[in-house]
């Protein structure tokens, strides 16, 4: 099983990148893992709907059609860490499918992404900065592996 986190935008300030890289390194002990960033389309006052559609197309272009897709969205299903591990990670692993987590841009996910997603999950009902959401997500993916393997990280 291969894992991907595909997100819109780049961490220009570099605030979260060291922590994201650390969790990515830890995840790679369990499975092949790739972080992919696609460009934000909200440049030069572009129409928000058009920007969302372009970003959605860019996200989906990076995902194999057979991959189990989880759209990360504040309006998605709220799961605690154990349920996230069981429902998302372990379910995909048991089916032998690759797994991709998609984080949209400032305008959220396009309808085409929501329709393609096998699950829509929320990290929090609060709105998170996209770079912060990516950090929280990779930490939770790492935690999910430790839960699945009964390792002591999760308390």
Question: Is residue 109 a contact partner of residue 119, using CB atoms and an 8 Å limit?
Answer: no
Going by the DSSP 8-state scheme, the letter that residue 154 receives in this structure is -
Question: Is residue 79 a contact partner of residue 26, using CB atoms and an 8 Å limit?
Answer: no
Token pair 């504040």 is at which residue? 74
Closest CA to 76 of 54, 57, 58, 102: 102
Q: Which domains does the chain have, with CATH numbers?
A: 3-148 (3.40.1280.10)
Largest CA distance in the chain: 49
Q: Taking the model in full, what pTM does it have? A: 0.93
Beta-carbon contacts of 94 under 8 Å, excluding residues fewer than 6 positions away, are none
pLDDT tens by residue, the chain, 155 residues:
899 999 998 877 788 999 999 999 999 999 999 999 998 886 656 688 888 999 999 999 999 999 999 999 988 999 999 999 998 887 887 888 899 999 999 888 999 999 999 999 999 998 888 889 999 999 999 999 999 999 998 76
Angle between helices 17-27 and 130-148 (to 10 degrees): 20
pLDDT of residue 45: 63
């Amino acid at each position: 099983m291969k894992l991907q986190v595909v997100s819109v935008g780049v961490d220009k300030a570099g605030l979260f990148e060291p922590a994201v890289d650390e969790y990515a390194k830890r995840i790679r002990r369990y499975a092949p893992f790739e972080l992919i960033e696609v460009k934000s389309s909200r440049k030069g006052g572009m129409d928000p709907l058009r920007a969302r559609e372009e970003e959605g197309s860019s996200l989906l272009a990076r995902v194999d059609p057979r991959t189990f897709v989880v759209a990360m969205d504040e309006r998605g299903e709220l799961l605690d860490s154990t349920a996230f591990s069981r429902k998302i990670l372990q379910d995909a692993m048991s089916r032998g499918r690759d797994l991709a987590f998609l984080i949209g841009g400032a305008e959220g996910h396009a309808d085409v992404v929501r329709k393609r997603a096998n699950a829509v999950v929320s990290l929090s009902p609060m709105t998170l900065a996209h770079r912060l959401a990516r950090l929280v997500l990779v930490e939770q993916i790492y935690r999910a592996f430790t839960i699945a393997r009964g390792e002591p990280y999760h308390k």
